[in-house]
Homo-oligomer: A and B are copies of this chain.
Amino acid sequence: MEQVIQAIEALLGPQGCLIDQDARRPYESGARYGNGSAACIARPANVEEAAELLRLCARDKIRIVAQGANTGLVGAASPDRSGRDVVLSMERIKGIVEIDPVDRVVQAYAGTRLSDLNQALAPHGLCFPIDLGADPSLGGMLAANTGGARLIRYGDVRHNVLGLEALLMNPPGQRLDLTNRLRKNNTGPDWKQWFIGTGGAYGIVTQAVLQVHPLPQQCATALVVPASPEAGLLLLRDAERHFSDFLTAFEGISHNAMQSVLRHLPGMQAPFEPLPPYAFLIELSSARPRSADFDLEKLFGAWLEACFGDLILDAVIDKPEVLWRLRHAISESVRHEGKVIAFDIAVPRSRLAAFREEAVALVGRGYPGVGVFDFGHWGDGGLHFNLVVPQALMEVCSEERIAVLRQEIYDLAVRKYRGSFSAEHGVGPFNQSFYDRYTAPEQQALAAGMQAAFDPERLLGATRFMSAQ
């Protein structure tokens, strides 16, 4: 091991190889899960160095865990505890290669942050509209196939990747250049898909070409109180009927989530008094500026008025910044309430209300005192069904009990509602056991074939898609 670390340092220089424990630490723990110890943190300055690193590690069968901005939520970018993993940080391989406004594309290196991407795009009137709480790297966004709050309009990352470049492990360091800018290209398997949403298990993304979108020039935003829990889905359907060209978000926020933000976010005013059981944040936007003959706020206002009584009990029309501030502050606020048991679930959106009702009842029945602080992307069936164990209950809520609860909720979502145990966070060591539980044997068999083709020595990534045997 000592020799490998020396070789990496010789290859990448002291800047490119962090060995000291203090220097390593920020890279060894994930944003939510994942906590290990790496042999070293390799920080290559360019793709050639990264390719050489792969060759070097392959020779000694050292596992490589790629890491972007380390904002992932399933531990997929964290080393294990063996002290033998090399973390490959992509943070120095960054920057915009080109923006082409006629193509409406941007090509950039994997280490580029989402915020930097959008800053570079803005002067061209363009944006990459993946809306997230964090500021991930481009490579990490591809590895996790991030979704976010505006998927209903723009799709997830996968829908917007036109091309990419990846480094393969078979043979080690092989560069695979798929950086085309084509919107139509039916020339065989769509190889780029193998590297999206797979957490670096089949190769390491070094560059991506993204389709980007015109910056919205006007929007209309409201927080509305549905007439009943079921009214949420009717409201969604009606909103799509009237505004399918413009609907950019349809987010659900529970009473507890709202209350938590009001308690912990300084200066936030209560949108309703008293707080309703549930509310929906609805956003319309258009790349066409507001004008007398095209005014989204006006159209939206008329629709809200028409829905009053039947579907909507109350509504707050406010500056989008204020309403989104409330929405984006939930995750952080809820952390102050006690121990958070986070879920990133999706079900078919038509069944979201039914799933939520059944899951809330399950918790109430089996785990009295545990609070439900959920919010979710109702437009696409995503639900962050977050539970909070209050301080007073910590003693009686053991790790084992929480594990049972977790599985009960996932079983309900996946087995009864044909949903997903990971809507947008991906698969990593944190939820590897649930992947094993819910993935059909025939899929795991295919994954074994993929593993043999792409990484026969199993040297890439912290996630395994084939069964453990």
Chain A residues at the B interface, C-beta cutoff of 8 Å: 100-105, 125, 144-145, 147, 151-152, 155-156, 158-159, 168, 170, 174-177, 180-191, 193-194, 196-198, 202, 213-214, 233, 236-237, 240-246, 286-288, 293-295, 298-299, 346-350, 377, 380-382, 418-427, 435, 438-440, 442-443, 445-450, 452-454, 463, 465
Contacts and interface: CB of A to CB of B under 8 A. Distances in A.
Contact of A244 (B156, B213, B426): B213
Copies of this chain, count: 2
Contacts of A152: 183
A161 B213 CA distance: 22
A380 B422 CA distance: 32
A350 B299 contact: no
A84 B180 CA distance: 39
Given A170-B445, A189-B197, 19 more contacts: A100-B350, A102-B236, A102-B350, A103-B381, A151-B184, A155-B155, A159-B159, A176-B442, A181-B418, A182-B423, A183-B381, A184-B423, A186-B197, A188-B435, A191-B446, A240-B287, A245-B287, A245-B288, A453-B453
A288 B449 CA distance: 48
A333 to B, nearest CB: 23
Given A189-B465, A293-B293, A242 B350 contact: no
A348 B214 contact: no
A18 B288 CA distance: 57
Given A187-B435, A188-B435, A189-B465, A102 B382 contact: no
11 contacts: A104-B240, A147-B184, A176-B446, A185-B423, A186-B420, A186-B422, A186-B427, A187-B438, A188-B435, A243-B288, A452-B453
Given A196-B190, A454-B449, A420 B184 contact: yes
Nearest to A102: B350
Nearest to A292: B293
A301 to B, nearest CB: 11
A347 B100 CA distance: 14
Contact of A347 (B145, B182, B236): B182
B187 A420 contact: yes
A377 B183 CA distance: 10
A259 to B, nearest CB: 26
Contacts of A286: 245
